[in-house]
Amino acid sequence: MDVLVEGFVEAWRLLVSGDEGIWAVTALTLQISLAAAALAVLLGVPLGAAVALHRFWGRRLVLAAANTGFGLPPVVVGLFVTVLLWRSGPLGFLGLLYTPLAMVVAQAVIATPVVVALAATALQQVDPDFRPQMEALGATRARSFAALLGEARLPLLAASMAGFGAVVSEVGAAIMVGGNIEGETRVLTTAAVLATNRGQFALAIALGLVLLLLAFGVNLVLTFVQQRESLR
């Protein structure tokens, strides 16, 4: 119990005092996970749309893969990406291993299936005649697609945030691909693991609380937007 109390006190102190280290780690975490989520959205929404709107060979395969990817352990993704990025691996020449970019790539791999599956569901909820009707009013295919995304913006936003949530809280891929290098690839989760290993429980709890606040903030924004929109 002492450790918990001490942890909360320490967490409060760190957060209130604006401890530079913890904010740097938080900023990096946000940067990496937002970039990964953005990449996952860029890949996942078109793919989810293709799956939702078109009948093509391999469509079920993509859906099944996306749904499997939902439960894909980040550490497995981390392992694959690590081996690919090894100097001796096929992408070794890029020199990406143990960089934030490598973490973005690995986390995007984790988040993309989540976004694909949720985006497909989101777009399937829209009337199948939506795009034909927009085109029947004179919209180009691109405009009708944009209108469709606009129509499904709330569930798509939820899909994006689920993607972000999946990566901001994962540690397996982050530590394997990033290497938990201080100032470069140390994010909230890996820092929390290290702090735990070092027996710095108060710091670990503080980091955990920051992570919790981050997740809470994201969900708060989502809930707020959803509530506001659904009232309109």
179 binds another protein (CB under 8 A): yes
Residue 186's nearest CA partner among 203, 205, 171, 165 is 171
Measured CA angle at 199 (ends 101, 179), to 5 deg:
15
**Distance separating alpha carbons of residues 61 and 51, to the nearest angstrom:** 10
CB of residue 59 to another protein, shortest distance in Å: 16
Coil/strand/helix, residue 152: coil
198 binds another protein (CB under 8 A): yes
Of residues 64 and 182, the one with the C-beta less far from another protein: 182
Of residues 151 and 170, the one with the C-beta less far from another protein: 151
Of residues 101 and 225, the one with the C-beta less far from another protein: 101
Distances (CA, A) of 92 to 85, 108, 189: 5, 19, 26
Distances (CA, A) of 48 to 10, 117, 174: 44, 6, 25
Considering only 62, 104, 209, 211, the residue that binds another protein (CB under 8 A) is 104
The stretch among 15-23, 56-64, 82-90, 218-226 that binds another protein (CB under 8 A) is 82-90
Of residues 67 and 193, the one with the C-beta less far from another protein: 193
Q: What is the largest CA-CA distance in the chain?
A: 68
User: What is the 3-state secondary structure of 135-156?
Assistant: HHCCCCHHHHHHHHHHHCHHHH
Considering only 133, 216, 219, 221, the residue that binds another protein (CB under 8 A) is 133
42 binds another protein (CB under 8 A): yes
- For residues 85 and 92, the answer to whether their CB atoms sit within 8 Å is yes
Within a 10 A sphere around the Cβ of 68, how many other Cβ atoms?
A: 11
Of residues 50 and 67, the one with the C-beta less far from another protein: 50
Distances (CA, A) of 186 to 80, 98, 144, 196, 208: 20, 10, 42, 14, 14
Coil/strand/helix, residue 46: helix
138 binds another protein (CB under 8 A): yes
Considering only 64, 137, 220, 221, the residue that binds another protein (CB under 8 A) is 137
199 binds another protein (CB under 8 A): yes
- Number of residues located near another protein, criterion CB under 8 A: 50
CB of residue 40 to another protein, shortest distance in Å: 9
48 binds another protein (CB under 8 A): no
Residues found near another protein in the complex (CB under 8 A): 3, 31-32, 34-35, 38-39, 41-42, 86-88, 92-93, 95, 97-101, 104, 127, 129-130, 132-140, 143-144, 147, 150-151, 179-182, 184, 194, 196-199, 201, 232
